[in-house]
Amino acid sequence: MKLFIDTANIDEIKEISDLGIIDGVTTNPSLIAKEGRDFKSVVQEITSIIDGPISAEVISTDAEGMLKEAEDLVQIHPNIVIKLPLIEQGIKATSILSKKGIKTNVTLCFSPMQALLAAKAGATYVSPFIGRLDDISHDGPQLIRDIIEIYENFDYPTEVIAASIRHPIHVLEAAKARSHIATIPLKVIKQLFNHPLTDIGLEKFLKDWKTMK
């Protein structure tokens, strides 16, 4: 499973990129707004750090506006992926962009049928939000399993990005459900390293080593 970092914070991206485990970046208007910087400047800087897919989201709600934004965004860097909402106009824009060879990430997916529409439109990626489903007592990981089954039944090439990751168990469940990608906040990525037995074991090794001196 590929790992993306879900952030628009340059310091976080630089920190995690040094570990060599990140395959791409996803951003959204909320994450960009938190940085208080020019949108294009942030995206441009991200492309200079991570050599992989960088999702940049449109803010228009009509296909014409989305397409105009997309044409502008793809000029930033070849790795830019246009992120579009899973609404009728978003699917329309996805279909047009895919025919032009422009990569797309259809976001705010909450049902298998929505994911089917994204694949039919030629989306490069679809982003089911498993954390937000869990928030309302729905089975987020089951959505991943359903989408994967549908895509494999009909050989759709669209890749699934498990999004809205809240904690390490979501990462585990996404991997078990065979999600192609998980996009994860820095805090959760760091939590993946943690296990008390690792800390105890390292402490013992170092203590034993000191007794040999």
Q: CA gyration radius for the chain?
A: 19
User: Cα dist. 27→54, 98, 154 in Å?
Assistant: 8, 20, 29
Per the annotation, the verdict on 83 as an active-site residue is yes
Cβ within 8 Å of residue 134, ≥6 positions away: 140, 166, 170
Burial of 40 (0-12, 13-18, 19+ CB in 10 A): middle
**Candidate list 34, 40, 68, 83, residue with the active-site label:** 83
Nearest Cα to Cα of residue 55 among 34, 74, 37: 74
Contact 44, 38 (CB under 8 A): no
Contact 63, 98 (CB under 8 A): no
Burial of 44 (0-12, 13-18, 19+ CB in 10 A): middle
Active site residues: 83
